[in-house]
A and B are shown apart, each in its own frame.
Chain A
Amino acid sequence: MKQFNQEWNQDHAPVPGGEPEIIAFCCDYCANSAAALAGSKRMQYPAGVRIIPTPCTGKIEMEHILDAFEKGIDGVLVVGCLEGGCHFVEGNLRARRRTDRVCEVLDEIGLGAARLKMVNLSDSMASEFVQNLEEMLATARALGPNPLKSSKQNESAGNL
């Protein structure tokens, strides 16, 4: 959580144009490499996406995701290795169960499970990585800004 807060504080700046803010928790063994490959290929992905590298998606706790939503993030994407391909054997499967549980909580409190999604990719799937980010962005746009975003954040994002 401490590391997440550090990353967040370093990177966090209002996204221009009122675009949704998306956090992508990316496994170092796949998604992070896919993101790097997307960069090498000069592929564009939305400016409102912030990538947080993790050693494995199994390292992501439910609190990390809930904390992001409480801070006003509009959508969270968890990107892990393909099923059966986790470097730590079953970290991505555990992450799937945890994201499913967080989705239930988000539905229960009324924020909506659609704001959270987990996908499985390999390190060579740069275009799928970008496509998933764009889909997440489109979902967040359709849902509107996270109502938990502070009024100050909303103003700077142009949502009020």
Chain B
Amino acid sequence: MIVASPKSITELKSIIAGHKKVLFVGCGTCVTVCLAGGEREVSISSYAVRMARKLDRNPIEITQITIERQCENEFIKDLAEPASHVEAIVSFGCGAGVQAIAERFPEKPVYAGLNTQFLGVLEEQAIWTEKCMGCGSCMLAQFGGICPVTRCAKRLLNGPCGGSLESRCEVDSDRPCAWQLIYARLKAIGQLERLEEIVPPKDWSTAWYCGARKVIRKEHQV
């Protein structure tokens, strides 16, 4: 899922400083699960911003709504009516959600209420870690299901750098060495011979570095 974290109330307040009527839009998918932009988080931010503005003697009227997914027009259309009554919209979706709403309402300022972080998983309650950078050509099969492109600080594809200490990464000791994990995993599944293969330089043309990407699946087009 896409993991995001909330912006501070101070930043949020400054972003909408010039507006008196604002719509706060939550998203019911990834950012609800990562406790950043769901109905509850939107409500907490609304309370905080409303109180902060009242204390500044510059009250604001905030309307709240949470839609199923901000990245699909089918759900965004539910915002048409509430959006017509406000000066601006704050999206508590990921960066994709913010831009999808902005495209749908070209005449309204649309601001981001979250900082979108990464594609990750929930490790334990309230702790998420990055697992995938969406490089566009997945190599997980070669590495026992552990991605060195995302999880090795040096993105090494042909073995460890040698700098790890007690299975921890030398760049950040909070992080496990991806290559240690790959070795343990390949050993556990009886595929250690994969480490003998030389992995050629990765084709980065499918990754973000060549600009925003597009996926077309003709078999599903209507």
Say whether, besides A61-B40, A63-B40, A105-B9, A110 and B47 are in contact (CB < 8 Å). no
Report how far A63 CA is from B40 CA in the complex, Å: 8
A99 to B8, CA, bound (A): 17
Contact of B8 among A61, A67, A108, A147 (CB under 8 A): A108
A7 at the interface (CB under 8 A from B): no
B155 within 8 A of A: no
B43 at interface, CB cutoff 8 A = yes
A111 / chain B contacts, CB cutoff of 8 Å: 51, 55
Shortest Cβ distance from A61 into chain B, in angstroms?
Answer: 7
Residue from B10, B47, B55 in contact with A63 in the complex, judged by beta carbons closer than 8 Å: B47
- Contact residues of B: prevailing secondary structure: helix
B48 touches A105 (CB 8 A): yes
Q: What's the least CB distance linking A86 to chain B, in Å?
A: 16
| Contacting residues, chain B, for A105 (C-beta < 8 A) | 9, 44, 48
Smallest Cβ-Cβ distance to B45: which chain A residue: A105
With a CB–CB cut-off of 8 A, which chain B residues contact A61?
40
* Bound-complex Cα distance A63 to B48 (A): 10
The count of chain A contact residues (Cβ–Cβ below 8 Å) is: 14
Q: Nearest Cβ distance between residue B106 and chain A, in whole angstroms?
A: 32
Question: Which B residue sits closest to A109, measured CB to CB?
Answer: B52
Contact mask A79-123 → B, CB, 8 Å, 1/0? 000000000000000000000000001001111000000000000
B54 at the interface (CB under 8 A from A): yes
For residue A15, CB closer than 8 A to chain B, the reply is no
Query: Within the complex, which residue of A70, A108, A147 is in contact with B50, where a contact is CB–CB below 8 Å?
Result: A70
- 18 cross-chain CB contacts under 8 A: A62-B44, A63-B44, A63-B47, A66-B44, A66-B51, A67-B47, A70-B47, A70-B51, A105-B9, A105-B48, A108-B9, A108-B10, A108-B52, A109-B48, A109-B51, A109-B55, A111-B55, A148-B55
List residues of B whose CB falls within 8 A of some A CB.
Answer: 8-10, 40, 43-44, 47-48, 50-52, 54-55
